[in-house]
Amino acid sequence: MRKILFALVLGFLIISCDTAMVKSSYVAIDDASWEKDSILEFTFSGLDSLASHDVFINVRNDNTFLYNNLFLIAELSAPDGVVVKDTLEYSMAEPDGTWLGKGYGSIKENKLWYKEDIVFPETGVYTLRISHAMRKNGSVDGMALLEGITDVGFEIVKK
């Protein structure tokens, strides 16, 4: 037990010393069932307005996620009111069904590219909104519940 506790503390210290990571946040999805109309909202401010950043969307899934890919809609709002909306597709599994994410056990974490070399020139509060855009083949309507997604978050890393 002491060895496990020591390893966890050491891992936390190593991760917390990462000076490149500027912001990170997660939202847990109730019962690992992401509702179609549930838009996850993250706000952040205080970024270096001259530096380039990489922005990632982080998704944790379990074995009840039944798909090889994930479609998301991400909307980034700047303090000056400019809004950039993107429809994104990410591979979540190999063709044989092996998960691409990292992690042990049934939960896998995927660090998905969102924006590369982005500068946040405005001072103030930025808002990132994320929703899923999954549909079944041949269906126009989105899936009411996307099962298997346990957490969604974002991460900003200074280059």
Kindly state whether residue 5 falls inside one of the protein's structural domains: no
61 occurs within a structural domain: yes
**Angle at 72 (CA atoms; ends 69, 78), nearest 5 degrees:** 150
Question: In this predicted model, what pLDDT tens digit does every residue of 6-57 receive, in sequence order?
Answer: 555 545 555 555 568 899 999 999 999 999 999 999 999 999 999 999 999 9
Rounded Cα–Cα distance for residues 125 and 92 (Å): 31
The pLDDT confidence band at residue 105, using thresholds 50, 70 and 90, is: confident
pTM, rounded to two decimals: 0.85
Q: Is residue 112 in some structural domain?
A: yes
Does 37 fall in a domain?
Answer: yes
Q: Tokens for 8, please give them.
A: 């966890």
Instruction: Please indicate, yes or no, if residue 114 is contained in any of the structural domains.
Output: yes
Number of domains present in the structure of the chain: 1
Please report the pLDDT score of residue 91 as a whole number: 96
Q: Is residue 1 part of a domain?
A: no
Sorted by sequence, the CB contacts under 8 Å of residue 49 that are 6+ apart come out as 119, 120, 121, 122, 123
Where in the sequence is the domain holding 96, given as residue range(s)?
A: 21-158
Q: CATH number, domain at 90?
A: 2.60.120
Residue 82 within a domain: yes
**Considering the domain boundaries, does residue 118 fall inside one?**
yes
Contact (Cβ atoms closer than 8 angstroms) between residue 15 and residue 152: no
Q: Hey, which residues does 101 pair with through a beta bridge?
A: none
